[in-house]
Structure 1
């Protein structure tokens, strides 16, 4: 990256979390362009500085631009920030790879595991794009998009095998309300972000059945213990799972009414759940 210009980030896509991270980056002084799938979303971001599909009530920074052209979004980008469904990553990334620059760092916001291969997002990224592992990073933590958009304080972990690359992206997304920390444990960060969704579903079921706070606490703590053992077996550091990308993300997802995973079963009939054998 040139010493004479701001970092540039291309954020794919214009969904809830992608929009929130795009706002963080812009507020941090990074040049940001969002890749949107729909013309009307890109036009709204460019003209009225709002994303009508997700946060129509929040004004976005005027420096934040949008396009539906992946080549235009990736032109001279220092960072490609991916916020798309994990199961569509491989197909979409194959289309975008020809436009990725030779020095672009790819940052994953995805919290999932590819079903067909069992691979983490970082592994899919290196396989599809052919970039080296030290050019792939992960941003993960207790980050509820609505609170981020409202400017409420939050923190996250930026993980990359290349510590210097992690620190550069840390500076690119650091704001008064968002504090990123760095790590080289990309496996631990990714697994913590993916597995906590399963635990949050279980906590939501327990809450919906009226099983009490003891049951929720049990699921959170024992779920974290199992996640840690899995992560360590895959090469992660146990301390990572006790940090923002592990325990922090787990607590936010399991306890907040803003969490979609926790509230997934909230409207399901309690008696029907009680009869089920889950």
Structure 2
């Protein structure tokens, strides 16, 4: 590393986890977020840090622009995706669950809600609600006026509020529900599954065309139980599950005959499971081998 790049490198490294979180929340893909960070670094390395008044705001602005460009490309790719698309799950450190704001912001349930926004709405919502940027800063990042950003933020917040979990479980509540779900699944206990799953539970599975999955979300406790237990029989082998933490929330790793099959993340409200998100696509499981540091600050 040249002496000229040392200050820029130090600043970028210090903010890297924050910038990755920005890109990941906008894109829902860790692999694409890493590419965005690489593009951000290449642009940052050409800038004289001494001429930048606020490096944090400047780097978030570059990251947001690159993420938006990539998101528009990804949306076309996702239209051709085989079956339902789920965000790439990230193994997170235990202390991530204690940051309730972070845990809700990057949860699989919230990430799916963000998928229903337009690219610009998603970027504005993430920057405003998760990272608490001002309207002027967001306007500079997305090329809109502050007045337009304010309107977009209001529209996006109203849209998300209508779809987000009404009551997010505390870490202890979440762990208790996950354990109950784990016991019920391992024992194929229909009665306990009926107790732990909400009547209107929704199950979404993502195989990406590489593994078996339901081609549409399954709604209703009876249908979900039949689908879930039926899928495990089709996969075959001896099921084992292991608690873990994905995107700051409790989850389960599913293995058959000792081989990792996928990860199940749960949306929990009022001590019942209202959403099951089963990521089986092997191309999305690489981030379960090591923890990913996420931060909103």
Q: Normalization by structure 2: what TM-score? A: 0.27
The higher relative CO (CA closer than 8 Å, separation ≥ 6) is in 2
The structure number with the bigger radius of gyration is 2
Which has the larger share of helix?
Answer: 2
